[in-house]
Chain A
Amino acid sequence: AQSVAQPEDQVNVAEGNPLTVKCTYSVSGNPYLFWYVQYPNRGLQFLLKYITGDNLVKGSYGFEAEFNKSQTSFHLKKPSALVSDSALYFCAVRDLLPAGFKTIFGAGTRLFVKA
Chain B
Amino acid sequence: DVKVTQSSRYLVKRTGEKVFLECVQDMDHENMFWYRQDPGLGLRLIYFSYDVKMKEKGDIPEGYSVSREKKERFSLILESASTNQTSMYLCASSLLSLTGRLETQYFGPGTRLLVL
Residue numbers of A with Cβ under 8 A of B are 9, 32, 34, 36, 41-46, 49, 51, 90, 92, 94, 96, 99-103, 105-108
Nearest to B2 among chain A residues (CB) is: A46
Residue numbers of B with Cβ under 8 A of A are 4, 31, 33, 35, 40-45, 48, 50, 56, 90, 92, 100-102, 104-110
Interchain pairs with CB closer than 8 A, number: 56
Q: Let me know if B107 and A101 touch, CB within 8 A.
A: no
In the complex, how many angstroms separate the beta carbon of B26 from the nearest chain A beta carbon?
Answer: 15
Which residues on A sit within 8 Å (CB–CB) of B105?
Answer: 34, 44, 46, 103
Which residues on A sit within 8 Å (CB–CB) of B109?
Answer: 41-43
Q: Let me know if B102 and A101 touch, CB within 8 A.
A: yes
Q: Let me know if A43 and B102 touch, CB within 8 A.
A: no
Which residues on B sit within 8 Å (CB–CB) of A106?
Answer: 42
In the complex, how many angstroms separate the beta carbon of A26 from the nearest chain B beta carbon?
Answer: 15
In the complex, how many angstroms separate the beta carbon of B49 from the nearest chain A beta carbon?
Answer: 10
